[in-house]
Amino acid sequence: MADTVLQADCLTKRYGARAAVNGLSFDVRRGTITGFLGENGAGKTTTLRMFLGLVKPTSGSAVVCGVDVGRGHKLPAGKVGALIENPSAWPWLSADDMLRVCATTSGRIGKNVDAPRRGALLARVGLSGRERDLVGGFSLGMKQRLGLAVALLTDPEVLILDEPMNGLDPRGVTEMRELLSALRDEGRTLLVSSHQLGEMQQMCDDVVIVSRGQRRYAGPMQGLAGTERLRLRVSDATATAALLGAIGVVAIADGVDGIMTIEIAHARAPEVAAAVVGARIGLFALEPIGLDLERAFLATIDDHATPPGAVS
């Protein structure tokens, strides 16, 4: 499909008798951020490395921009940037020299990777003023930023990022989320693995959840839980709680007069509003809070759950 940029089809990687990835299938839509979630050891990094041609699948395909990298074909030149695990760096080089060397090895030397371009890349990832500092003195978070600058050297259409927020402080995490969202808004496609569920919830369009090498869910973020939390502000919280209870909706008071939280299926919001207004209770606000990604994630990987999109 024209709108599919990355596609895993029955992707499998075995190490002896152990299946690190087992029949994994999912698509990544063009111009979106897709979150790739799972516990440690779920097969996320192995999958990302198969998309990059760094690991050969035992079976199945890993298609990137129309090229089946899983069958030994090379990645489309210049179209893909990546940050996988801890970024490699030569400690005796400065940040600017690191970009210059990586530009040479990527074949981009002399192709708009001059000093101003390198400086702009470092500034964009939050390393302005550190261009001449030796990489050996960088923190893990700074190395993550530098790794992202390297990934952006070829001005790629696709970014495959493994834990890009690893080692960042709270401000850095926020800045990284904003940067990744801006890259998506420029038309790029991102596949991002992370354990920062709160940040993923804020920036991702779609999500893929894997457990023990298998897909448990793949689809829109909001479709993961099938429900959403809403905040109500009403004239009579007691009457509203009784009214909603009668139609099977549990309302929890927030400790402020007239404000309460409910969790319902998306389609029931108009029903709730109509019930409250129909009972002549003042309805001053009805606003979405969003799904609880952490709870939905844990429920999805639980062996006893039957999440949407799950496969055995």
What are the chain's domains? 4-220 (3.40.50.300), 227-290 (3.30.70)
Cβ 14 vs Cβ 55: under 8 Å: no
Number of neighbours of residue 108 by Cβ within 10 angstroms: 17
pTM comes to 0.76
Cβ 157 vs Cβ 189: under 8 Å: yes
Residue position matching structure tokens 């496969």: 311
Cβ 23 vs Cβ 12: under 8 Å: yes
pLDDT of residue 34: 96
pLDDT of residue 70: 75
**Rg for the chain (alpha carbons), in Å?**
23
Q: Give bridge partners of residue 18 from the DSSP assignment.
A: 15
pLDDT of residue 9: 94
pLDDT of residue 265: 66
Q: Mean pLDDT lowest for which of 2-16, 38-52, 153-167, 225-239?
A: 225-239
Average pLDDT (81-94) is: 80
pLDDT of residue 308: 42
Q: How confident is the model at residue 228 (pLDDT cuts 50, 70, 90)?
A: low
Check whether 270 has a pLDDT greater than 60. Answer: yes
Average pLDDT (284-294) is: 72
pLDDT of residue 87: 63
Beta-strand ranges (E) seen in 239-293 are: 251-253, 259-265, 283-290
Say how far apart CA 215 and CA 22 lie, in whole Å.
8
Check whether 106 has a pLDDT greater than 70. Answer: no
Question: Which is more confident, 133 or 104?
Answer: 133
Number of neighbours of residue 182 by Cβ within 10 angstroms: 11
Cβ 232 vs Cβ 283: under 8 Å: yes
Considering the chain, what is the average pLDDT of its residues?
A: 84
Question: Which is more confident, 201 or 290?
Answer: 201
Which of 95, 100, 98 is closest to 114 using CA atoms?
A: 100
pLDDT of residue 15: 93
Cβ 97 vs Cβ 143: under 8 Å: no
Check whether 226 has a pLDDT greater than 70. Answer: no
Q: How confident is the model at residue 111 (pLDDT cuts 50, 70, 90)?
A: low
pLDDT of residue 306: 42
Cβ 168 vs Cβ 103: under 8 Å: no
pLDDT per residue as tens digits for the range 5-39: 999 999 999 999 899 999 999 999 999 999 999 98
Sign of CA pseudo-dihedral 116, 118, 124, 127: negative
Check whether 1 has a pLDDT greater than 80. Answer: no
Cβ 48 vs Cβ 199: under 8 Å: no
pLDDT of residue 309: 43
pLDDT of residue 149: 92
Quote the tokens at residue 69. Answer: 């990298």
Check whether 310 has a pLDDT greater than 50. Answer: no
pLDDT per residue as tens digits for the range 235-268: 888 888 888 888 888 777 776 678 877 776 666 7
Report the percent of the chain where pLDDT is more than 70: 87
Check whether 117 has a pLDDT greater than 90. Answer: no
Q: What is the per-residue DSSP string for the chain? A: -TTEEEEEEEEEEEETTEEEEEEEEEEEETT-EEEEE--TTSSHHHHHHHHTTSS--SEEEEEETTEEGGGTPPPPTTTEEEE-SSPP--TTSBHHHHHHHHHHHTT-TTSS-SHHHHHHHHHHTT-TT-TTSBGGG--HHHHHHHHHHHHTTT--SEEEEESTTTT--HHHHHHHHHHHHHHHHTT-EEEEE-S-HHHHHHH-SEEEEEETTEEEEEEETTTTTSEEEEEEEES-HHHHHHHHHHTT--EEE-SSTTEEEEEEEGGGHHHHHHHHHHTT--EEEEEEEE--HHHHHHHHHSTT---TT---
Report the percent of the chain where pLDDT is more than 90: 35
